[in-house]
A and B are shown apart, each in its own frame.
Chain A
Amino acid sequence: MTTTAPPKTSPAPQLRRQPRAPRARLAGIALRTPYWVLTGALALVFVFPLVWAGVASVAPQPGSSQVDGWGFGNYVTLMEYQAGLPQYLLNSTLVSGMTVLFTLTASVLGGYAFSRFRFPGRDVLFLLTLAILMVPYATLLIPLYVMLNAVGLQNTLVGLSLVLTVFQLPFATFMMRISFDAVPRELDEAALVDGCSSFRALRTVLLPAVKPGVITVGLFAFLAAWNDFVAPLILISDSDKIPLPLAVANLRAQVMGIVDYGATEAGVVVMALPCVVLFLLLQRHYVRGFMSGALKG
Chain B
Amino acid sequence: MPAKLSARPPARSTRPAIVAVARRRALHGWAYAAPTAVLVVGLFLLPVLLVGQMSLSDWPLLSGNQGINAPANYQDALGHRYFWDSVVFTVKYTVIATVLLIGLGLGLALLVQESSRWSAVLRTSILVPSALGLASASLLFYALYSPQVGPLSPLLQRLGLADGPVTFLGTPDSALWSTVFLVVWRFAGFYMLLLMVGLQGIPHEVIEAARMDGANRRQTFVSITLPLLRPSLALCTVLCVTGSLLAFDQFYILTKGGPDNSTLTVVQLIYNVAFQGQNDLGVAAALSIVVLVVLVVVNVAQMRAMRTSQED
Contacts and interface: CB of A to CB of B under 8 A. Distances in A.
12 contacts: A12-B208, A42-B126, A52-B151, A109-B32, A112-B32, A113-B36, A114-B33, A118-B26, A136-B267, A138-B291, A227-B135, A271-B132
A57 to B, nearest CB: 9
B84 to A, nearest CB: 18
B221 interface: no
B50 A146 contact: yes
Given A121-B1, A169-B39, A229-B133, 13 more contacts: A53-B140, A107-B36, A118-B25, A120-B1, A136-B291, A138-B291, A144-B43, A147-B46, A223-B133, A245-B135, A252-B139, A262-B149, A265-B140
Contact of B26 (A119, A166, A233): A119
A267 interface: yes
Given A63-B148, A118-B26, A138-B271, A143 B50 contact: yes
A203 to B, nearest CB: 12
A249 B47 contact: no
Interface stretch (B74-82, B94-102, B108-116): B108-116
Contacts of B136: 227, 245, 248, 268, 271-272, 275
B234 to A, nearest CB: 6
Contacts of B134: 227, 229
Given A12-B208, A119-B30, A136-B288, A264 B139 contact: yes
B117 interface: yes
A274 to B, nearest CB: 9
Interface string B7-39: 000000000000000100111111111111101
A86 B11 CA distance: 66
Interface in A254-286: 259, 261-262, 264-265, 267-268, 271-272, 275-276, 278-280, 283, 286
A63 B149 CA distance: 9
Interface string B102-125: 000000100111111110011011
Interface in A160-190: 162-163, 165-166, 169, 173
A67 interface: no
Contacts of A296: 235
Contacts of B289: 139
Interface stretch (B159-167, B170-178, B187-195): B187-195
Contacts of B193: 287, 290
Contacts, number: 295
Interface in A15-48: 17, 36, 39, 42-43, 45-47
A109 B51 contact: no
A81 B239 CA distance: 37
A261 B148 contact: yes
Size category, B interface: 35 or more
The 3 closest A-B pairs by CB, nearest first: A227-B133, A117-B29, A297-B235
Given A114-B33, A142-B51, A279-B128, A134 B148 contact: no
A61 interface: yes
B231 interface: yes
A39 B133 contact: no
Contacts of A152: none
B145 to A, nearest CB: 10
Contacts of B190: 290
